[in-house]
Structure 1
Amino acid sequence: MKPIIGVSSSLKEEAITVSMDNIEAVVAFGGVPFVLPNLIGDGIDSIVEKLDGLLLTGGGDIDPTLFGEEPFEGLGSITPERDAFEIAIIEKMLALDKPIFGICRGAQILNIAVGGDMYQDIYSQTESKLLQHDQKAPRWHASHYVQVTKNSLLHEITQSEEFKVNSFHHQANRMVPTGFEVSAVSSDGIIEAFESKSHQFVLGVQWHPECLLLKNDMTSASIFRAFIEACVK
């Protein structure tokens, strides 16, 4: 049986939307995508029971009150309903040790759900000179390098200590909690990936590997393949 992968969705004008890049990536590596609603209620338990893995996709900004801050000037549009749903489903998936893969916003909400915190806007909240993290190049273009932590899950999957990624964000994780570790950073010090040290597969990346797959990026393929394989176990 192919694994059922819950794919988180964006809320736009009372509709839920998901990039086809995410759907096609799940299908390409042997998963069956199940687009998730953004509804809180008793139904979450039934949804989680049917899922073999969770893909947290990109999207808008995250409500800063979830990590103890009020909105700063650089904060963009937020969707509190999506935040609440994703945190609830993350907690239930973690309790069952089911695989989770977070992409961009997905990596951020994963970190918030487990007790980390984040920058509302890296350009106004950091003092260092930053790379262009909201690239102007096409989504399939890898624009900057990340350095990978040796002996991490990400290192084991990619067999690489450095590779190029794309970048479409102005928020980023700032601190990951006990039980998790940073597994990649960019040259300007921004956290680019983190992972659980105790779960079988819980990984968040700041870039968009589903877009890099459009040009057959082998590193992105290895990450998605490892995720789907973990969902079969």
Structure 2
Amino acid sequence: MRPIIGLTTFTESKGTSRYNCLNCNYVNAIVEAGGTPVMIPLVENKDTLLQYMNIIDGILFTGGEDVLPLYYGENPIKDIGAIEQERDDYEIFLFKEAYDANLPIMGICRGIQLINVALGGSLYQDINSQITGSLGHSPKGSPMNQVHHMIRIEKNSKLYDIFENETIAVNSFHHQSIKDLGKDLKVTAYSYDGIIEAVESIEKDFVLGVQWHPEALVPKHELFKKLFEEFVKRCSK
């Protein structure tokens, strides 16, 4: 029986219509890894969201807009990007439900940032303006399936167990990153300019976040399929 993996979504307006959306790369990566993806619509009704929580075996927090800085006690700086507070509320609710239930959790790009904020951490609102000496983390016009920079992986981590290497090349499409670490988290990877590239839970069985987009690399780089296979395997339990 393939485990059911919940995927968070975002909303998008086209003309007079509004849609719940998700990049197909997330869906395809979960399917390739042996899971059954279920898109969780962005709705305010908590009873509806709880019904989804009752049927899923794990949850993936996907990429997207910036998290509202008010959630970590800051006002937005001028370099902040697009914000959708409705999505923040919906994902923080889902995260807390999944975390309390000890469901396997994975976060990608915005997802790692959401996990950190939900656990009481904070973010750099804009890497280029707030971190002196930062390297390029959001290249203009680069294909999403192309690696961009190297990261260092801590040996005593789930990430090292998955990739079996202390250095790998990843893609990069973010202008924010983790600043103050949330409770129950430890850093498991850094970029060469010191920016946090991965975290995992100290206490829970499987809570893992990465700052890059492995789902976009899976078709061309077999290495990154291992990450989704491990996540799906954890959800199978």
TM-score range, shorter chain: over 0.9
Matching residue's letter, 2:5: I
Number of equivalenced pairs: 231
Match of 1:130 in 2: 134
Query: Which of 10, 16, 21 matches 2:20?
Result: 16
Could you say what the CA RMSD is over the residues aligned between the two structures, in angstroms?
Answer: 1.0
Match of 1:152 among 146, 152, 157: 157
Q: Give CA deviations for 1:19-65 in whole Å, capped at 9, x if unaligned.
A: 01010001111111110111232222211111101011111111110
Contact 1:145 1:162 in 2 (8 A): yes
Could you state the TM-score of these two structures normalised by the residue count of structure 2? 0.95
Distance 1:29 1:135 in 2: 28
Q: In the alignment, residue 33 of structure 1 is paired with which amino acid? A: P
Could you tell me how far apart the structure 2 residues matched to 1:172 and 1:216 are? Answer: 24
- Of all paired residues, the percent bearing the same amino acid is 40
Deviation at 1:216, TM superposition (A): 2.9
Secondary structure of residue in 2 paired with 1:215: coil
Amino acid at match of 2:202: K
State the match for 1:39 in structure 2. Answer: 43
Tell me how far apart the structure 2 counterparts of residues 122 and 57 of structure 1 sit (CA, whole Å): 20
Contact 2:117/2:182, CA 8 A, preserved across alignment: no
SS of equivalent residue, structure 1 residue 70:
coil
Question: Matches of 2:219 and 2:135 in 1, distance apart?
Answer: 23
Equivalents in 1 of 2:158, 2:59: separation in Å?
17
Q: Extract structure 1 runs of 4+ deviating beyond 4 A.
A: none
**1:126 and 1:59 mapped to 2: Cα distance?**
21
Q: Which residue of 2 aligns with 1:229?
A: 233
Q: What are the Cα deviations for residues 102-128 of structure 1, in whole angstroms up to 9, with x where unaligned?
A: 00001111111111111111111112x
Give the match for residue 99 of structure 1: 104
Q: CA deviation at 1:16?
A: 1.2
Native 8 Å contact 1:145 1:163 kept in 2: yes
Alignment partners' CA distance in 2, 1:36 and 1:119: 28
Alignment of 1:71-220 (within 5 A): 71-127=76-132, 129-136=133-140, 137-218=142-223, 220=224
> Partners of 2:64 and 2:82 in 1: how far apart?
10
Question: Any unmatched runs of 5+ in structure 1?
Answer: none
- Provide the rounded CA distance (Å) in 1 between the counterparts of 2:129 and 2:173: 16
Q: How far, CA to CA, are the matches of 1:167 and 1:192 in structure 2? A: 10
Matched residue SS, 1:48? helix
TM-score (norm 1): 0.96
CA distance in 1, matches of 2:124, 2:222: 29
Q: Return the alpha-carbon distance in structure 2 between the equivalents of residues 57 and 23 of structure 1.
A: 11
- Say whether the 8 Å CA contact 2:191–2:197 is kept in structure 1: yes
Conserved? CA contact 1:3–1:52, under 8 Å: yes
Stretches of structure 2 that go unaligned for 5 or more consecutive residues are: none
**Paired residues of 1:135 and 1:166 also in contact (CA < 8 A):** no
